[in-house]
Amino acid sequence: MTDRYFILDSDIGSDIDDAMALLLCLRLQDFPLVAITTVYNCVELRARIAKKMLMLENREVPVGIGVGDPLDELKIIWETGHEGEGLLSEEELSIPLADFGITSDGIDLMIKKAKEFQGKVEIITLGQFTNIATALQRDSDFSGNIKRIWSMSAGATFNQEVPSDFPNPSEEYLSVPSHNIRTDIRAAEIVLDSGIPITFVGNDVTTKVFFNQADIQIVASQGSELNKAVMRMMEIWLNYRSKTFGVEVKRTCLHDALVIAEAIGMSFTEKVSIDIRIDRDIMGGTFAKYNPESPHQISWSVNSEAFEKWYIETVCKVD
Tell me how far the alpha carbon of residue 315 is from its chain's centroid: 17
Task: Give yes or no for a cis peptide into 295 (omega within 30° of 0).
Answer: no
The pLDDT value given to residue 2 = 78
Please name the amino acid found at residue 158.
Answer: F
How many structural domains compose the chain?
1
- Other beta carbons less than 10 A from residue 176's beta carbon: 17
Domain CATH code at residue 69: 3.90.245.10
Looking from the CA of 196 toward its CB, the CA atoms found within 13 Å total 33
Q: Side by side, which strands form the sheet with 5-10?
A: 102-103, 63-65, 33-38, 5-10, 121-125, 146-151, 198-200, 296-302, 269-279, 285-290, 172-175
User: Whole domain around residue 211: which residue ranges?
Assistant: 5-315
Q: What residue ranges of the chain have pLDDT lower than 70?
A: 1, 318-319
What integer pLDDT is reported at residue 161 of this predicted model? Answer: 87
pLDDT tens, 299-310? Answer: 999 999 999 999
Span 65-97, pLDDT tens digits: 999 999 999 889 999 999 999 999 999 999 999
Contact in structure between 276 and 156 (CB atoms under 8 Å): no
How far is CA 264 from each of CA 5, 30, 42, 103, 124, rounded to the nearest angstrom?
10, 11, 29, 26, 10
Q: What is the pTM of this model?
A: 0.97
The pLDDT assigned to 305 comes to 98
Q: What confidence score (pLDDT) does residue 114 get? A: 98
Taking alpha carbons only, the member of 206, 189, 216 closest to residue 262 is: 206
The confidence score (pLDDT) of residue 163 equals 92
